[in-house]
């Protein structure tokens, strides 16, 4: 079997990667999923980019999954004509009303969030500009919070506000999000990443909208604040996948707890058989530098060791100087790290069904045979997803589907290589076609034995089965 990488790579498309030439290069480098960041995109661009990704993917014979990351509700400071320099110990007022009056010479910081006055208690924290500026609340007044600057800085216009530990009273989807999602459904987006998920009801809101729009796209819940951590189990249950979005999450919770939160989120997702992405700042220095820092190498490696389905690039591939190299570096780190992964299946769960137990047997057999591949046929993606969650190190999962959207979505799954074929009514014909496809594509060698997970029809019954089949030689094919 040719060298294989279990960990998937998600990249964010932007000016540095949106040309056809760079898309081809980044696919060759090993990218599996492309992310559209709707915080910096308009609808004309979305239509153009999705068409281009599909065109290049088809030409290269690799169908990338496309994720739309919707912006979600945000709390921001008001508009300023020029930046304000805030110093340690300075007293400032924060308000949720744009028409509030300045109190003497005291700086007034407006915001687009009226509940901020009652939401943040005395002693609470207001973080501005991704945590670069920190304010401590001294007093709640009728129309403002009286605060003291604890961490100084220069505050520009419309800066992002974080309120650690505060339950935010905002809808899961803004009007902009709804319009973006409608366009996404028109062009066939495969995944929607929902920002600032606080509880499972947020996921249900998006699910209802997708049903109204007749979309089969799946939902990735982004974990970005303390509320999401508190409701993590129910959020995972309600969603189709998880993203540990470490940017805002690292601001909203004590940064020293971030590694343990990441490990727990990844482990819980695997146990629930849901794919999980680790994102943000993975190769941040490579936005400008041609090589990563040693700390970044270790960070990517740790995500691989935790068995995350995918690691993600953001600014590195949107505006960075070395976008293709970033994917190459990430791929090299993942492949090297995977050599040290123990060949041990994920733990059996109380909710394992008989079907999952059968798949566990198939994965165990593949490892016992000397880390051979597993072939799975699917119409909805459930079998490859469950096989993927078993984390059978060294055993690539070759997943065949005749549903193009299911086929594309499987590109996010750990260890899964998806193939699009039209199924025959005869299971044996599908198995033979799959084996020849893998042989002709250089994925397997003639004579190699693979584990097959398929259905067998016995009279009126359809029975799940595990088979062993050898990849046919070219002579066998010619003889037939």
Q: Known catalytic residues?
A: 35, 76, 222, 280
Angle of helix 323-338 versus helix 20-29 axis, rounded to 10: 10
Name which of 55, 27, 32, 11 is nearest 417 in CA terms.
32
Do residues 268 and 232 make contact, with C-beta atoms less than 8 angstroms apart? yes
Residue holding tokens 């750990």?
414
Do residues 369 and 393 make contact, with C-beta atoms less than 8 angstroms apart? no
Annotate 29-60 with b (16+ C-beta within 10 A) or e (fewer).
bbbbbbbbbbeebeeeebeebbeebbebbeee
Annotate 391-401 with b (16+ C-beta within 10 A) or e (fewer).
bbbbbbbbbbb
Cα separation, 43 vs 63, in Å, equals: 22
- How far from the centroid of its chain's Cα atoms is residue 147's Cα? 37
- Extended strands (E) in 328-448: 374-378, 397-401, 416-420
Cα separation, 418 vs 337, in Å, equals: 23
Beta-carbon contacts of residue 5 (< 8 Å; ≥ 6 apart)? 30, 331, 334, 335, 338
Supply 26's token pair: 């980044």
- Taking the CA atoms of residue 428, residue 421, residue 475 and residue 427 in that order, the dihedral angle to the nearest 10 degrees is 0
Supply 9's token pair: 């790579």
Backbone angles phi, psi at 317, to 5 degrees: -115, 0
Which region, left, alpha or beta, applies to residue 412 given φ > 0 means left and ψ of -120 to 50 means alpha? alpha
- Extended strands (E) in 281-345: 310-313
DSSP string, 139-164: EE-SS-EEEEEEE-EEE-TT-BEE-T
Q: Are strands 161-162 and 125-128 parallel, antiparallel or unpaired?
A: antiparallel
Helix (H) or strand (E) holding 128: strand 125-128
- Per DSSP, helices labelled H in 137-257 are 175-187, 200-212, 226-230, 232-238, 246-252
């Amino acid at each position: 079997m040719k060298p294989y990488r279990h960990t998937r790579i998600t990249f964010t498309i932007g000016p540095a990667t949106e040309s056809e030439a760079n898309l081809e290069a980044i696919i060759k480098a090993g990218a599996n999923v492309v992310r559209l960041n709707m915080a910096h995109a308009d609808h004309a661009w979305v239509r153009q980019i999705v068409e281009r990704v599909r065109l290049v993917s088809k030409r290269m014979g690799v169908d990338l999954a496309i994720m739309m990351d919707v912006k979600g509700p945000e709390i921001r400071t008001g508009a300023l004509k020029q930046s304000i320099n805030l110093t340690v110990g300075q007293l400032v007022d924060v308000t949720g009303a744009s028409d509030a009056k300045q109190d003497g010479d005291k700086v007034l910081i407006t915001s687009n969030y009226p509940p901020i006055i009652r939401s943040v208690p005395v002693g609470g924290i207001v973080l501005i500009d991704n945590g670069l500026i920190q304010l401590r609340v001294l007093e709640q007044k009728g129309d403002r919070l009286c605060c003291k600057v604890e961490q100084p800085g220069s505050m520009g216009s419309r800066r992002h506000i974080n309120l650690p530990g505060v339950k935010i009273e905002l809808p899961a989807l803004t009007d902009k999000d709804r319009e973006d999602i409608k366009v996404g459904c028109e062009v066939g987006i495969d995944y929607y990443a929902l920002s600032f998920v606080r509880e499972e009801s947020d996921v249900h809101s998006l699910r209802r909208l997708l049903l109204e729009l007749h979309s089969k796209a799946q939902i990735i819940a982004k974990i970005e604040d303390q509320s999401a951590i508190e409701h993590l189990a129910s959020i995972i249950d309600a969603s189709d996948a998880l993203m540990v979005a470490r940017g805002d999450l690292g601001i909203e919770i004590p940064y020293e707890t971030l590694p343990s939160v990441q490990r727990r989120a990844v482990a819980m997702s695997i146990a629930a058989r849901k794919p999980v992405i680790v994102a943000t700042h993975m190769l941040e220095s490579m936005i400008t530098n041609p090589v990563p820092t040693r700390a970044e190498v270790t960070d990517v490696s740790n995500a691989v060791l935790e068995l995350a389905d995918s690691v993600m690039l953001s600014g590195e591939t949107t505006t960075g100087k070395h976008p293709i190299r970033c994917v190459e570096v990430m791929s090299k780190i993942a492949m090297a790290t995977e050599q040290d992964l123990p060949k041990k299946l994920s733990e059996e769960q109380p909710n394992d069904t008989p079907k999952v137990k059968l798949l566990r047997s198939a994965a165990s057999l593949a490892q016992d045979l000397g880390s051979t591949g597993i072939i799975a046929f699917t119409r909805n993606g459930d079998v490859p997803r469950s096989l993927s969650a078993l984390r059978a190190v060294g055993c690539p999962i070759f997943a065949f589907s005749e549903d193009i959207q299911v086929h594309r979505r499987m590109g996010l799954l750990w260890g899964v290589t998806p193939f699009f074929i039209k199924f025959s009514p005869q299971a044996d014909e599908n198995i033979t076609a799959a084996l020849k496809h893998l042989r002709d594509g250089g994925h397997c060698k003639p004579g190699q034995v693979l584990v097959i997970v398929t259905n067998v029809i016995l009279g009126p019954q359809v029975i799940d089965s595990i088979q062993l089949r050898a990849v046919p030689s070219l002579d066998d094919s010619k003889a037939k």
